[in-house]
Structure 1
Amino acid sequence: MEEYLALGHMSKVDNVSAGSVKRCYLPHHPVVKESSTTTKVRVVFDASCKTSSGVSLNDVLLVGPVIQEDLRSIILRSRTKQIMLVSDVEKMFRQINVSPQDRPLQSILWRATPTDKIDTYELNTVTYGTKPASFLATRTIQQLAVDEENHFPLAARAKTRTWMMALAQTRSIQH
């Protein structure tokens, strides 16, 4: 959570008055993986948890269309090439900002220590665990390749649906 703050991926809400803004509070918990050399602890947000109205954030979000290629097609096509390049975008979902007016729907309660006051925070970026997260990440990469083609023509050309789909499929398999 400290990393979320340091990287600007969440912001403290200073004035939380009842009824001023509609908020959805996401439950969250740590997942500890002692064997990991890079990320021993990561936070998991539960956007499928029902609110007091009986509806979760995921219940009202749209998934988005499937824009990634089938993993089988990618693997079969890779067999026709001598070299296949695969990459991983670090903190992929957290690289994409959410519109400020939508951030209250990704609110959390948190405190750094048990003696601290509990404060409200808003998640500023796409949250893994929300229905549209995979679509938003893949679509953002596609749009960046189009928008930045003049500045980075080789990268835009290298951006094929294949590597994006392999990345998305790899993420799904790992989690």
Structure 2
Amino acid sequence: MSDSKFAEDPIQQLWTLESVGIVDQDMSPEDKFVLEEFKNSISMVEGRYEIIKEQLSLGFIETVPEEDQNRTNVHYLPHLPVIKDSTTTPIRIVFDASARMDKQAPSLNDCLYSGPSLTSHLTDLLLKFRLDPFAVSADISKAFLRVGLQPRDRDYTRFIWLKDLNNEKDLQAYRFRSVLFGATCSPFLLSQLATSL
């Protein structure tokens, strides 16, 4: 404790402990760079900051064009169905951005920078709830899918889909046009977009 900057000033130490979660966090140079990159590359396209046909019709994914089929610098995401007793979404597709080809190979999440944490501290949230007489909470439907993905990054979010269950060779390659739930950078992108609007 002797090497602490507060060792000589117990009043400062007490005040700092009392204000946990209220003081601004310093951003690293890497965090500042990512934040600037985000601000410089964001744009509104087609009004968007369940299963495959729905995702395709809503513009969340696209078929990989014929001319891009043989590209070498791509990444394919494994996926699996999650089945639940629900009337709105009985089957949901989950993509695994943390999957590795083998123990030495990096996953997609290993190659992505998660960005600085923009989540409010608990103390901040509690104080905000006490400022006004009413509090509102909302859940945006398919929130991550409402944030578009730059065309240069789409080939890293490819996946294969069986078009015909009766023909196991009838496969189609798709790629995301939106950021996907499960990617390590998605929470940063969504929260930064929300705070910049």
- TM-score between the two structures when normalised by the length of structure 1: 0.74
- Whether the aligned pair in 1 keeps the contact of 2:163 and 2:172 (CA below 8 Å) is no
Q: Any unmatched runs of 5+ in structure 2? A: 1-51
Quick check: 2:159–2:173 contact (8 Å CA) kept in 1? Answer: yes
CA deviations 1:9-64 (Å, max 9, x no partner) are 1111132543x341100001111111x33222211100000136611110110000
Q: 1:42 is matched with which residue: 77, 87, 92?
A: 92
Equivalent pairs counted in the alignment come to 142
Match of 1:70 in 2: 121
* TM-align CA RMSD: 1.8
Residue 136 of structure 1 aligns to a residue whose secondary structure is: helix
Distance 2:163 2:194 in 1: 33
- Of 36, 41, 54, 1:3 maps to 54
Q: Is 2:106 the partner of 1:55?
A: yes
* Residue 141 (str. 1) matches residue 191 (str. 2): no
Q: Residue in 1 aligned with 2:136?
A: 85
Task: Specify the SS of the correspondent of 2:62.
Answer: strand
Q: Which structure has the greater CA radius of gyration?
A: 2
Q: CA deviation at 1:92?
A: 0.7
Asked if 1:120 is matched to 2:170, the reply is: no
Deviation at 1:73, TM superposition (A): 3.0
Percentage of matched positions with identical amino acids: 31
Equivalent pair of 2:60/2:176 in contact (CA under 8 Å)? yes
1:162 aligns with none
1:23 matched residue in structure 2: 74
SS of structure 1 residue aligned to 2:160:
strand
Specify every segment of 5 or more residues in structure 1 that has no aligned partner in the other structure, as ranges. 146-175
Partner of 1:137: helix, strand, or coil? helix
Q: Deviations over 1:105-126 (max 9, x none)?
A: 0000002332351111111100
- In 2: Cα distance, 1:94 partner to 1:17 partner: 23
Is 1:21–1:104's contact at 8 Å kept on the other side of the alignment? no
Looking at structure 2, the residues matched to 17 and 77 of structure 1 have their Cα atoms a distance apart, in angstroms, of 50
Judged with a 3 Å threshold, the aligned counterparts in structure 2 of structure 1 residues 84 and 111 are, in CA distance, closer, same or farther, namely same
Shift of residue 78, structure 1, vs aligned partner = 1.2
